[in-house]
Structure formats: structure tokens, C-alpha cells
Chains A and B, each alone.
Chain A
Amino acid sequence: MTRPGLWRLTAVFTWIGLASLGGGRSAYFHDALVARRGWLRDEEFLQDLALSQVMPGPNFSNLAVGLGYRLRGYPGAACALVALVLPGTAIFLALALFLRHGLTADATHALLGMGAAVVGLIFVMTGRILRVGLRGRTALVLAAGTFLAVGPLRLPTYAAIAAMVVLGCWLNRPRASEALTPRDAP
């Protein structure tokens, strides 16, 4: 398993950050680091993907940090974060501020159309994730409760998360039958 230098890591992560448009962004990492370059094994990638989903904070940058740490320790994590966030944010900020100041009537209509299309797209993408990710009645109850609270009911997100974490940890509590996996058995 070859591991890249810091320079190479930064260059590749910058490229991933710039190339990752639209949904399914973590797939770009898998393609670039596992499939294309062989820097990481599938198992390592999946471990970091799970970590990025459990940790608070933006998933995509957390995944970059986990992978960067694995490849090059703390310097790798720092380079990965900057490489992923900075170029895209600079481009986005310039464009967003330009559109905000230079909005003609035509641009407003175009942006209205694009905003509506984004809703259609994220509806489909989110639907796909929910279809594969929501397994079992417990997951369905937790997701539906969270959705109702933060969506139609407009309750604060921290309140919804707090209530659902308590409910979820109780519903998903370790059972005696599951605790004795072969690895834990004496």
C-alpha cells in the first residue's frame, strides 16, 4: 500500500474538492483514493465513511479529515481540510456576492428556476439515500419523528435531536442476544 506525500495529498484533495459537483460526493473520494490510486483499502475507506457520519460537523469535510489523517497523520488532516474547503468556498463566495449585487430581472428569473430545480434534485437524491438507509421500523420512526419536528412543525433542531437521541438510544440499546458476538465471546 503506497502512501502519498503531503504535497501530493493536498493536490489530489484539491482536485477532488473542485471536481465534486452535485450529489453523492463521498463517491468521489472512493474513486480517487481507493479505485484509482490504491492509497487505501475498501475497508479503511468504509471505516472513515462511518466515522464521518457519526461525528458532528459537515460530513464531506469530516470524511476528508478522516482520510487525510489516515494517510498522513495530523498534517495530512489539516491539508485535506484546507484543500477541500478553501477553493470551492472562494469560488462560491465570489459568485454569490456577484449575483447578489448584479442581479438584473433576467438573472432573478434564472435563479428562481435553478432554485426550484435544486429542490427537485435533492428530493430525488435524498429519496435514494432514505430508501437504502432506512432499514427497520426503529429507523423509520426516528427519521419520521425528526422530519416532522424540524420540517412542518418548525421546532428547533437541537430539541429534535436531543429527544430523538434519547428515544433512539433506548430503542437501539444493545440486546443480550447481540452482545455475544464471536469476537467478544470468551
Chain B
Amino acid sequence: MDLLRLAWTFLWLSFLCIGGGLGIVPEIERQAVSAHQWVTSREFVDAYTVAQLTPGPNMKIAAFIGYVAQGPMGALAATLVMFVPAAALTALVSQHWAGLRGRPWAITAERTLSAIGMGLMAGGVYTLARSAIHDVRTAAIAVVAAVALATLRVPPVVVVLAAGVAGWVLG
């Protein structure tokens, strides 16, 4: 039963995913941390951090939450429902997309969903910031990282690893 609940939760989470995985971070946190207590708030932020450092889609954090909640079967179930049903739907629509794209209502949907997706992404940044930044040190690291990426064009992975060293030295 618990496995079914886990699978059902990640299934509907995957269908809320508009404009990138970051957008459903607030809802994943609500479900996995607050509602079902599958992982702690710290585990969630740590997992997201590790997800940024490893290749592949960010929504692979479903595998981690599933594993912590229900073991290997949980990891498998959460990953499958996160990626496969949405992919099947995309492949189906893909056949007809060329013909649909120019229709007026398709343009309406594209404009609406892309704006909502961007609002969701901003919400994801907000949620992660609330969990990851809790004192002057973490705030300073976040600001330095932002400046390093924005003005110095340092590659993201280098910034994250350097921040790891900084956290270790300052801690």
C-alpha cells in the first residue's frame, strides 16, 4: 500500500512538471517532507545538491526519495512513474505536433504554460533558498556563487565544488 501511495504521488507530481523539474520542487518538498515524511528537509536539500553535481535530469531525486521511503523497489517505482508515463504521452503527441503547433489554441496553450512554468521555477528557487540558507555563512556562499556565475562565467560544477571546500573550511 505504501509503495502504491509513493508511486501515485510521483505520478501526479510528474504531470505537474511544467517548464522544468525545478518548478515542482515546492510540491515535492510538501509531499516528501511535510505530508508523508519520507525524507527530512536536510536530506531533501542535500539530495538536490548531489543531483546538481551528477549528470542527467534533476528529477532523478525521485529515485532517492523512493529509496529512502521504500528501499530499492521504492526507487524503481518512483523513477518509473516520474519519467515513463509523461514520456509515453510526449511520444504520442510528437506524431501530430507539427500539424498542431500553428493552431491558435496551441499558441494560447504555449504562451500560458511557458509563463506559468517560469513562475513555478521562481517558486522552486524560493523553496530551495528557504531550506538551504539559514545563516550568514550560507547566505554569503550563495551570493558569491551567484556573482561567480553571472560575472566571471565560472562553470557551475566548479562553483559548487569550490563552495564545498569553503563550507568545509568555514565549518
Classify the interface of chain B: helix, strand, loop or mixed.
helix
**Which among A21, A133, A134, A147 is the interface contact of B123 at CB below 8 angstroms?**
A147
**Which among A77, A84, A143 is the interface contact of B119 at CB below 8 angstroms?**
A143
**B-contacting residues, A160-178, CB 8 Å:** 160-161, 164-165, 168-169, 171-174, 178
A122: B residues at CB distance < 8 A: 22, 124-125, 128
A21: B residues at CB distance < 8 A: 53-55, 156-157
Instruction: Compute how far the CA of A128 lies from the CA of B22 in the bound complex, rounded to whole angstroms.
Output: 15
Classify the interface of chain A: helix, strand, loop or mixed.
helix
Could you mark each residue 72-110 of chain A with 1 if its beta carbon is under 8 Å from any beta carbon of chain B, else 0? 001001000100110111011101110110000110111
B144: A residues at CB distance < 8 A: 117, 120
A151: B residues at CB distance < 8 A: 26, 122-123, 126-127
B128-A118 in contact (CB<8A):
yes
**A-contacting residues, B1-58, CB 8 Å:** 12, 14-24, 26-27, 30, 43, 45-58
Distance of A9 from chain B, by nearest CB (Å) = 14
- Chain B interface category by residue count: 35 or more
A100-B46 in contact (CB<8A):
yes
Distance of B86 from chain A, by nearest CB (Å) = 2
Instruction: Compute how far the CA of A23 lies from the CA of B157 in the bound complex, rounded to whole angstroms.
Output: 10
The answer to whether A51 has its CB under 8 Å from any CB of chain B is yes
B109: A residues at CB distance < 8 A: 54, 169
**A-contacting residues, B101-159, CB 8 Å:** 101-102, 104-129, 131-133, 137-139, 141-147, 149-150, 155-157, 159
Please list the residues of chain A having a beta carbon within 8 angstroms of any beta carbon in chain B. 17-23, 25, 47-48, 50-62, 65-66, 69-70, 74, 77, 81, 84-85, 87-89, 91-93, 95-97, 99-100, 105-106, 108-126, 129-130, 133-134, 138-140, 142-147, 149-152, 154, 156-158, 160-161, 164-165, 168-169, 171-174, 178-179, 181, 183
Contacts A47-B97, A96-B50, A126-B22 aside, 12 further interface pairs with beta carbons under 8 A come to A21-B53, A65-B90, A69-B91, A77-B87, A84-B56, A87-B55, A96-B46, A146-B116, A160-B120, A168-B111, A168-B113, A173-B108
